[in-house]
Amino acid sequence: MAETPKILLVEDNEDDKDLALMAIEFSGVSCEVQIARDGAEALELLLGLPGGQTRELPTPPRLVILDLKMPKVSGLEVLRAMRDDPRTKYVPVVVLTSSSEIGDLADAYAFGASSYIRKPIDLEDFNQIMAGICSYWLVWNESAPIT
């Protein structure tokens, strides 16, 4: 029996986090969602403990949904660190952000984002986008083997 796929949702805004969780549930795709409320927490969950200690990752998430503008460590720094680590190098990362800065868009793809989506205002649009993200990345996409 296949394991339930895991998503790491990295979001510092409580309202956006709650909306994302409701939209993921609305998608109908069975998954486990882990929350990181800032970039430092995301790095700890993905790559190891503070102070440079590493830990074994039993199963990396199948998908990371990543905000860019966060306290402590930015989403771009999280993305760069993920791509530099062999354990998370190929984990799909969907940047879901309110940033419309062309530099953020270019940097996200330069650092290895799988997709870049601006947060929609309309709740129905947000639910449809999240359903598409979950369906594509957790059901249809063939993930790269973990090294």
Class of domain 10-97+112-140 (CATH, top level): alpha beta
In this prediction the pTM is 0.90
The pLDDT assigned to 123 comes to 87
Cβ(76)–Cβ(107) under 8 Å? yes
Beta bridge partners of 8: 34, 64
The domain limits of the chain are 10-97+112-140
Convert the pLDDT of each residue in 96-144 to its tens digit.
999 889 999 999 999 999 999 998 778 899 899 999 999 999 989 888 7
Closest CA to 48 of 86, 95, 3: 86
d(CA 109, CA 102): 11
SS3 66: strand
Helix (H) or strand (E) holding 53: none
The answer to whether the CB of 97 falls within 8 A of the CB of 118 is: yes
4-25 average pLDDT score: 94
